[in-house]
Chains A and B, each alone.
Chain A
């Protein structure tokens, strides 16, 4: 008798859980159907690859953000960081042309610098939050302003452009495909798999969740809280640098408007995906779907005249609010069930 009850309860619980985790997937599916109904060209191979490629930037950054947010932090500086890294990368590559020519070596040098800069910028955010004991919101609000003004300064208020010949060498990283998928999509896939493994299958991922749930418990459980938290910002920084590496060849330039509002899109993708903003519960799969949903909305609006393209932000905003409303509703339900 009692076994039967626990069994049925387990089943109910797991089914409810499924609906909750499947939410973003269902939403994306619905969006695709709407897109197809509005214009069958939405599902054309060309458009789908384009959509995936576009979502790669926000997606990769959002995967980093999933770690930061799961561990109870927030990083507002990612958009400015991307712009600053792009700017410095371009300056370095342009000035390396004399020494290394316009070949692959120079591009690799630029990419290497990008990763180092991303790592360093993340480390600064992390150390200021943990050792400096300043709230992540304040630290990254500060660095956001700093990075943004740096890129404006480097570009002297204008645009930094990549050497024309280098552009030719670097171009394939954004425009070429490998096994039918564009390179940025491959980068997105690799970062996603690595992120999923790290968050769900390693002790580090468990530590992030524990710290986000309750920092004191984590500390008493022999977890090096400061180190783990700093590492989440470093991961975020490296993700930003990877996104920048595939972004620079797209336009071959950087200016003060590069990456504006990316931080909000990344956070939105994370939240739509079901990660809890105050930490303690993170889902990489959800984040990927969140990034895809955001890009799809913009894409659909491009396809139709019914709603102005200028209302892209409105649609994204509505989706974020509705997504969180739905998540809250199901959280509440599960709570009543268990107490």
Chain B
């Protein structure tokens, strides 16, 4: 750091802020400040209180005790996002854009420029174009939001914030769904905003990125402030250890070798469909097979086709030697294949329901006794799953939507395992979950494989693929580019295949 600004220069600060929901305390006397022109990252495990802190800083929650200071004077922030008028903008993880409206309409939504009761469209368009140029985003103000990529949508949110003269920009996991290239573009805009004096709070689980973009980093654990340090004095490892409070050397479990003569349990031959072309591979019993590639390379589509979620246009699937072109998810499940979606919130779990109906939904036919649902058996299954997968919920009657991402992921895993599959396909097993839970998920996967279950891991996080898988298949534009085994699994090789610089001869 070239200069270390004094505390008085903070735009927004929380002083010994505590917050309880009902009788459950979630934040204990935390202090946090944001200075103009800096990126201050906030990290911690799921449930550490990050969301509560940023919601308190932006007025969505009222602190139970403690003070919020704006420009050094104590303020009571207005609720429901009205703090935007004070220049404090929170960008939620779930983007808040009207999908069917244009960029321009979204940016000015709720405060449209008018002249004599008529919208001044030309003026708004010019202004939006100015903002877009300022952040270097090359899209038309007239584009519909639904036609944009996630990264572009993210940028539109930021443009929206700038147009509101944001002085403090709080972003909750903005890069969670971005590819590495998109993240790079995104960070470029963040740096530009920083130069303009905007204070930025960055919440993320990706510690490498935190290290790259931040000036300072604050670590929370179990609702308590652990440390605030300059980013250049921290390594990602040190951050992880402070978040978890213990050594994380064994993030990845030791790898069990697959029996050399293990049976092939799944064979895919020349599979084609929407977004995939001529995909072939084999999966052996007890094997952990990684699927790597850029987002949109067709990895998810392959397994959606195998599991009967999207139609197969061409090609064949064999499970344990039997032809198995499933027309429905139920048939795939009954043959022992289960697919865990990467989209927990919209495809994985019923957010408005409790844990029990969610847990048993996938294998509900097993809980039917003489036409009736056996609720006692469901309750037993829930207790077992909570123990086995270490699901922590404040109380079991809580809606799944109110649980942390890590616990949701564990529940999703438990849900799929109720069907006792022989083949489990896990799409982005650790998206949006903290380091501690990640480690647990990795150990579950390894334990499954050790029991003889075959696991497919689709992941965009390279260390995960490298640390976990026996074999890796790399896809690009709907095709299999190559397959790597053992010592050949490394980042450089994967990137070479994923970028299309190298391709194996089709077997």
| Residues in A lying within 8 Å of B, measured CB to CB | 5-6, 8-10, 13, 197, 201-203, 205-207, 209-210, 213-214, 216-224, 280-281, 337-339
Q: Say whether chain A's binding surface is mostly helix, strand, loop, or mixed.
A: helix
In the complex, are the beta carbons of B372 and A202 less than 8 A apart?
yes
24 A-B pairs in the complex with CB atoms less than 8 angstroms apart: A10-B395, A202-B368, A203-B368, A206-B357, A206-B364, A206-B373, A214-B350, A216-B347, A217-B346, A217-B347, A217-B349, A217-B350, A218-B361, A219-B347, A220-B347, A220-B348, A221-B415, A222-B330, A222-B362, A222-B363, A223-B329, A280-B350, A338-B399, A339-B402
In the complex, are the beta carbons of A220 and B309 less than 8 A apart?
yes
Complex: A168 Cα to B367 Cα, angstroms: 49
Q: How many residues of B contact A (CB 8 A)?
A: 40
B residues near A222, Cβ cutoff 8 Å: 328-330, 332-333, 362-363, 419
In the complex, are the beta carbons of A9 and B23 less than 8 A apart?
yes
In the complex, are the beta carbons of B352 and A213 less than 8 A apart?
yes
B residues near A207, Cβ cutoff 8 Å: 364
B420 to chain A, nearest CB (A): 13
A338 to chain B, nearest CB (A): 5
B236 to chain A, nearest CB (A): 31
B258 at the interface (CB under 8 A from A): no
B233 at the interface (CB under 8 A from A): no
Complex: A209 Cα to B373 Cα, angstroms: 14
Complex: A205 Cα to B348 Cα, angstroms: 19
B residues near A201, Cβ cutoff 8 Å: 372-373
B181 at the interface (CB under 8 A from A): no
| Residues in B lying within 8 Å of A, measured CB to CB | 21-24, 309, 328-330, 332-333, 339, 341, 343, 346-353, 357, 361-365, 367-368, 371-373, 394-395, 397-399, 402, 415, 419
Task: Beyond the given A220-B348, A222-B362, please list 15 additional residue pairs across the A-B interface where CB-CB is below 8 A.
Answer: A6-B395, A9-B23, A13-B397, A197-B372, A206-B361, A213-B351, A214-B350, A220-B309, A222-B330, A222-B419, A223-B329, A223-B361, A281-B352, A338-B402, A339-B402
B residues near A281, Cβ cutoff 8 Å: 352
Complex: A232 Cα to B353 Cα, angstroms: 21
B residues near A203, Cβ cutoff 8 Å: 364-365, 367-368, 373
B residues near A10, Cβ cutoff 8 Å: 395, 397
B421 to chain A, nearest CB (A): 11
Complex: A203 Cα to B360 Cα, angstroms: 10
Complex: A209 Cα to B361 Cα, angstroms: 11
A residues near B398, Cβ cutoff 8 Å: 338
| Residue in B closest to A201 when the chains form the complex, CB atoms | B372
In the complex, are the beta carbons of A210 and B350 less than 8 A apart?
yes
Most chain A CB atoms below 10 A, which of B332, B339, B362, B415 = B362
Whether A224 contacts B330 in the complex (CB less than 8 A), given A6-B395, A9-B23, A201-B373, comes out as: yes
Whether A337 contacts B22 in the complex (CB less than 8 A), given A201-B372, A210-B357, A219-B329, comes out as: yes
A130 to chain B, nearest CB (A): 14
In the complex, are the beta carbons of B351 and A214 less than 8 A apart?
yes
Complex: A337 Cα to B397 Cα, angstroms: 13
Closest 3 CB pairs of A and B: A222-B329, A5-B23, A222-B330
A314 to chain B, nearest CB (A): 34
Which of B24, B351, B352, B361 is within 8 Å of A221, CB to CB?
A: B361
B276 to chain A, nearest CB (A): 18
In the complex, are the beta carbons of B350 and A213 less than 8 A apart?
yes
Which of B328, B348, B368, B402 is within 8 Å of A224, CB to CB?
A: B328
B residues near A9, Cβ cutoff 8 Å: 22-24, 395
B residues near A197, Cβ cutoff 8 Å: 372
In the complex, are the beta carbons of A220 and B24 less than 8 A apart?
no
| Residue in A closest to B343 when the chains form the complex, CB atoms | A216
In the complex, are the beta carbons of A339 and B350 less than 8 A apart?
no
Complex: A10 Cα to B398 Cα, angstroms: 10
A residues near B362, Cβ cutoff 8 Å: 221-222
B residues near A210, Cβ cutoff 8 Å: 350, 353, 357, 361
In the complex, are the beta carbons of A216 and B346 less than 8 A apart?
yes
Whether A202 contacts B371 in the complex (CB less than 8 A), given A217-B348, A220-B341, A338-B402, comes out as: yes
B residues near A202, Cβ cutoff 8 Å: 368, 371-373
A residues near B352, Cβ cutoff 8 Å: 213, 280-281
In the complex, are the beta carbons of B367 and A8 less than 8 A apart?
no
